[in-house]
Amino acid sequence: MSDTLFLGIDSGATTSKIAAVREDGSIFPSDLLQRPTGSEGGPEGVIKAWIGAIGEYMAEHKISWSQIAGVGLAVPGPRRSYGVLDNGPNLPDSFNGWNVEQDLIAALKHESGQMLSLALGNDGNMGGVAEAHRAIGNQKVGVVMLAPGSGLGGAYVDPTGMCLDGDTLAGMEVGHLAAPLHLLGVEALTCGCGRDWGCFEMYTSIAGLPDLLNLALPRYPGHSLEDPSLGKKERVLKLRGLAQDGDALALELFDLQAKAMGLLVAQLAMAVDPGCFVVGGGLIDPDATTEEFRERYLGGIKSAALEYLWPTQKNVLRIVPASLGEQSQAIGAALVARLKAKQ
């Protein structure tokens, strides 16, 4: 008997990915399928690109539409309402107000010949659903996902496997909570979101590294990153390699980021009391970092958090690295589609 499957689409401004899960929640085994989103063609071009990528995925794995019980879509914020995009930073103005739910449902019906259930969600939240599913299996506990990259994404996944969206679809924007600067020993940096109170994003992700590096360089005269021929982005991208070679300045910055993440973990433990924290991002990527570096980073997070937890939480604090890589958000979208179908 053929598997019943739920498809997941992870749509970024430039590329989209496709994945699937089975009816029992297990991940359908497949290599990463990533194709251009087609945003230069406007909403119509994106729909065409998504349907084309789905068709390619299904053909590659010999999947028929009769096996598909639902579809999930992970999209970046902000959203004006459920299924309707707002003015995003990485998309043309033509996408502002686009009812993506309506258009994708129509396209799926045309392609499949049936009315398929569609679940939409924030891409960070969808990634959190997938990583929580992988981290805890059948345990009924809450999970917080923290994903530092160019910014800091976050998600809370409840014991049923559903993520917290919030009443205005802006839930768990943890990167823009105010960091306790007195504990970090740093000044308030203005975030790309416009807040000037010292968003956690500026002390945990690439977004704040240029400013943190400029503040640290005077303490390291003659450092190689003082080279005026290096651009801002080039200097920041060198830091991870330097840290793994034992460079004191680079290690100082990543230790600061680990401490900031730990303080955020402590705050979120107070707020939602999860059974597990999952940390993603390039700093725990085994293909890009050494085991020694990852242990130092995750250990720094845990030690900073422990100081501020309730006694019972200290005994059970669990922090694990993310493991699904680039497929997490597409897998999460498929899992949410599965959960929606069960409701």
134-176 pLDDT, tens digit each: 999 889 999 999 999 889 989 999 999 999 988 888 889 999 9
Question: Do 176 and 199 form a contact (C-beta atoms < 8 A)?
Answer: yes
Rg, the chain, Cα only:
21
**In the chain, what are the domains?**
5-127+327-342 (3.30.420.40), 138-322 (3.30.420.40)
* Residue type, position 3, single letter: D
**What pLDDT does 89 receive?**
64
* Residue type, position 98, single letter: W
- Residues in the chain predicted with pLDDT less than 50, given as ranges, are 1
Both tokens assigned to 299: 């250990």
Distance in Å from the first CA to the final CA of the chain: 24
Q: What is the pTM of this model?
A: 0.88
**What pLDDT does 313 receive?**
96
Beta-bridge mates of residue 35: 16
Q: What is the distance between the alpha carbons of residues 171 and 86, in angstroms, rounded to a whole number?
A: 16
b/e map 174-184, b = 16+ CB within 10 Å: bbbbebeeeeb
**What pLDDT does 129 receive?**
96
Both tokens assigned to 195: 């807040």
Question: Do 83 and 46 form a contact (C-beta atoms < 8 A)?
Answer: no
